Chains A and B, each alone.
Chain A
Amino acid sequence: MSNATAAAATSPSADAAQSPLARLGAAFVGRLVIIIPYLWLLFFFLIPFIIVFKISLSQTAIAMPPYTPVLDFNGGISGFLDQLKQLSIDNYTWLTEDALYFNAYVTSVIIAAISTLLTLLVGYPIAYGMSRAPATIRPTLLMLVILPFWTSFLIRVYAWIGILKPEGLLNQLLLATGVISQPLIILNTYTAIFIGIVYSYLPFMVLPLYSSLEKMDYSLIEAAKDLGCPPTSAFWKITFPLSLPGVIAGCLLVFIPAVGEFVIPDLLGGSQTLMIGKTLWNEFFANRDWPVSSAVAVILLLLLIVPIMLFQQAQARAQEQGK
Chain B
Amino acid sequence: MNATWSRFNITSIVLGFAFLYLPIVLLIVFSFNESKLVTVWGGFSTKWYVSLFHNQGLMDAAWVTARVGVISATVATVLGTLAALTLTRYTRFRGRVLFSGMVFAPLVMPEVITGLSLLLLFVAVGLDRGFFTVTLAHITLTMCFVAVVVQSRLISFDRSLEEAAMDLGATPVKTFFQITLPVIMPAIVSGWMLAFTLSLDDLVIASFTSGPGATTLPMKIYSQVRLGVTPEINAACTILIAVVAIGVIIASLANKRREVQRQLDERAAQRG
Residues on A lying within 8 angstroms of B by beta carbon are: 1-4, 6-8, 11-17, 22, 25-26, 29-30, 33-34, 36-38, 40-49, 51-52, 55, 65, 122-123, 125-126, 128-130, 132-135, 141, 143-145, 147-148, 150-156, 158-163, 165, 167-169, 172, 199, 202-203, 206, 218, 252-253, 256-257, 259-263, 267, 277, 280-281, 284-285, 290, 293-294, 297, 300-301, 304, 307-308, 311-312, 315-316, 319, 322-323
In whole Å, how far is A125's beta carbon from the nearest beta carbon of chain B?
4
- Assess A163 versus B173: contact at CB under 8 Å? Given A11-B168, A158-B225: no
B165 touches A7 (CB 8 A): yes
What 11 new A-B contacts, CB under 8 Å, besides A152-B237, A260-B110, A263-B203?
A16-B171, A33-B90, A37-B79, A37-B99, A42-B102, A125-B9, A145-B20, A154-B222, A308-B108, A312-B104, A319-B151
Residues on B lying within 8 angstroms of A by beta carbon are: 1-2, 4-6, 8-10, 12-13, 16-17, 19-21, 23-24, 26-27, 30, 38-39, 79-80, 82-83, 85-90, 93, 95, 98-113, 116-118, 120-121, 123-124, 136-137, 139-140, 143, 147, 151-152, 155-156, 161, 164-166, 168-175, 178-179, 182-183, 193-194, 197, 200-201, 203-204, 207-208, 218, 221-222, 225, 229, 233, 237, 240-241, 244-245, 248, 252, 265, 269
B86 touches A162 (CB 8 A): no
A277 touches B169 (CB 8 A): no
B203 touches A154 (CB 8 A): yes
In whole Å, how far is B19's beta carbon from the nearest beta carbon of chain A?
7
A312 touches B24 (CB 8 A): no
B120 touches A55 (CB 8 A): yes
B172 touches A40 (CB 8 A): no
- Assess A152 versus B23: contact at CB under 8 Å? Given A45-B106, A45-B140, A300-B113: no
- Assess A44 versus B121: contact at CB under 8 Å? Given A38-B86, A129-B16, A153-B201: yes
B105 touches A45 (CB 8 A): yes
A44 touches B100 (CB 8 A): no
Tell me what chain A mostly uses at the interface: helix, strand, loop, or mixed: helix
In whole Å, how far is A87's beta carbon from the nearest beta carbon of chain B?
15
A156 to B151, CA, bound (A): 29
B222 touches A1 (CB 8 A): no
A280 touches B118 (CB 8 A): no
21 contacting pairs across A/B (C-beta < 8 A) = A25-B171, A34-B93, A40-B139, A44-B139, A46-B98, A52-B117, A52-B120, A129-B13, A134-B2, A152-B240, A155-B241, A158-B27, A161-B229, A162-B27, A218-B4, A261-B110, A267-B225, A277-B111, A284-B208, A311-B104, A311-B108
Set of chain A residues within 8 Å of B82, measured between Cβ atoms = 33, 36-37
Partner of A40, one of B20, B88, B120, B143: B143
Set of chain B residues within 8 Å of A135, measured between Cβ atoms = 1
In whole Å, how far is A100's beta carbon from the nearest beta carbon of chain B?
17
- Assess A151 versus B112: contact at CB under 8 Å? Given A7-B179, A42-B102: no
Tell me what chain B mostly uses at the interface: helix, strand, loop, or mixed: helix
Set of chain A residues within 8 Å of B169, measured between Cβ atoms = 11-17
A156 touches B13 (CB 8 A): no
A267 to B218, CA, bound (A): 13
A319 to B101, CA, bound (A): 13
Partner of B17, one of A29, A132, A144, A155: A144
Set of chain B residues within 8 Å of A162, measured between Cβ atoms = 26-27, 30, 38-39, 229
- Assess A151 versus B244: contact at CB under 8 Å? Given A22-B171, A26-B172: yes
- Assess A122 versus B201: contact at CB under 8 Å? Given A17-B170, A17-B171, A37-B143: no
Set of chain B residues within 8 Å of A6, measured between Cβ atoms = 178
